[in-house]
Amino acid sequence: MRELYRRIPKVDTFINDEELLELLDSRPKFFLKKAVEIVLSDLRRKIAKGEISDFSYDELKESVKEKLKELIRPKLHKVINATGVVLHTNLGRAPISKRVAEHLVEVITGYSNLEYDLERGRRGLRYRNLEWILKELTGAEDVCIVNNNAGAVLLVLSALAKGKEVIVSRGELIEIGGSFRIPDVMEQSGALLREVGTTNKTHIWDYERAVNENTALLLKVHTSNYRILGFTESVPTKELVELGRKYGIPVYEDLGSGSFVDVRKLGLSYEPTVQDILKAGVDVVSFSGDKLLGGAQAGIILGKKEYVERIKKHPLNRALRIDKMTLAVLEATLTYYLDEALAFEEIPVWKFLSQKRDDVRKKAEKLVSELEKSEFRGKVEIVEDRVEVGGGALPLQTLPTYCVSVKLDSMSESELDKRLRGNYPPIVGRIKDGKFLIDMFTVFEEEIPTVVRALKGL
């Protein structure tokens, strides 16, 4: 044992090893020292327990390499989404296209005209570069963009209804996860919640009866992540707008996901688009930038100039403002909506959602045939299933998909799931009816070889 201890190489031997330094690639030496420390202390522990009778420098170096690769990897990194859920909030919601990312890199790796008016040579407006496209796409009079839609709701309520009453249906007092609850946001904004109707039914006269001289806003919240089914009734946006006009009270709709595309084109049932809501006459509408829009995290507020001006002037707007990265991604993404066929091609969220059944099946077949070629020893099988869009969009609606079910004699499906999550890049699949499924709906074609390698590695 003493002999083994004596043979443990000095830390410096590793730190000066050319090959390890190359792997470190100009990152802080901290990572290499840490990797060596971990490997050597593991070695000492094994020697003490008598678990080891011999070792070589090269063996240890291999372990250091593995550890180093793990340590230098950024903690936020790519994941392969094999859950089938296109807008998976835990997996980063909307992926953006490589082309949009290229534009982003160019904007942020140098200086930009973020707040500079190049024509006049002086300070310009941060949102000017996005205004034109949102107006073009929706016909809105004015635009304000903040950090996310939760922030947008807080800002709109603070700017338009502080200290006054906001009428909202009991059927729309939503929670969307991450403790975003309409009543709590309302309280934060200083607006007073005036609930009307019941959980399942709210009528226009419920709203009308609640209107008084202290009413500042009629709020409609799109039930974007749940549905109340059965004996139900809610007031359509249009009727709420008429009521607002009658009493001179503005109407605000929190649309949640906010799509520019009519999803009936995908064989789904009707969900109002941003354009529809504006056409119905609301004064203000807000929605997320990274749900069905398929861009970056943001809260987009559109509406009548009179109200959006007030929203823009509120101090919270400055606190919730977005940065150049968000602006670059949003502008590049939004441009594609000028031609819907391009949006389906270039925006990953829409590319996935508009996939033909056959396209998904082909991806599943490709994975299976690649696995067979690689002599993967597990059992694979293509199974049909259905997926939800997720991310607080289109609740209860599903699209057809194909999954590859994987079975290994040597491990249970939960073990398999865990091992694939431990792969790099991790593969997050799902378990259904005792089967581990790789849902091809959200797997990019170019990710298939990585999945094959990971499965073979098992």
Q: List contacts with ligand PLP (CB under 6 A).
A: 148-150, 153, 174, 176, 180, 221-222, 224-225, 254, 256-257, 288, 299, 392
Q: Closest CB to ligand PLP among 96 and 153?
A: 153
Q: Closest CB to ligand PLP among 82 and 393?
A: 393
Minimum Å distance from CB 204 to ligand PLP? 21
Residue 57 makes CB contacts below 8 A (sequence gap 6+) with 9, 13
Q: Closest CB to ligand PLP among 299 and 429?
A: 299
- Tell me the two tokens of residue 160: 């338009």
Minimum Å distance from CB 153 to ligand PLP? 6
Q: Closest CB to ligand PLP among 322 and 404?
A: 322
Minimum Å distance from CB 179 to ligand PLP? 11
Minimum Å distance from CB 447 to ligand PLP? 26
Cα-to-chain-centroid distance, residue 127? 22
Q: Which residue is nearest to ligand PLP (CB)?
A: 256
Q: Closest CB to ligand PLP among 150 and 408?
A: 150
Minimum Å distance from CB 156 to ligand PLP? 11
- Tell me the two tokens of residue 440: 């091809």
Q: Closest CB to ligand PLP among 348 and 392?
A: 392
Minimum Å distance from CB 68 to ligand PLP? 37
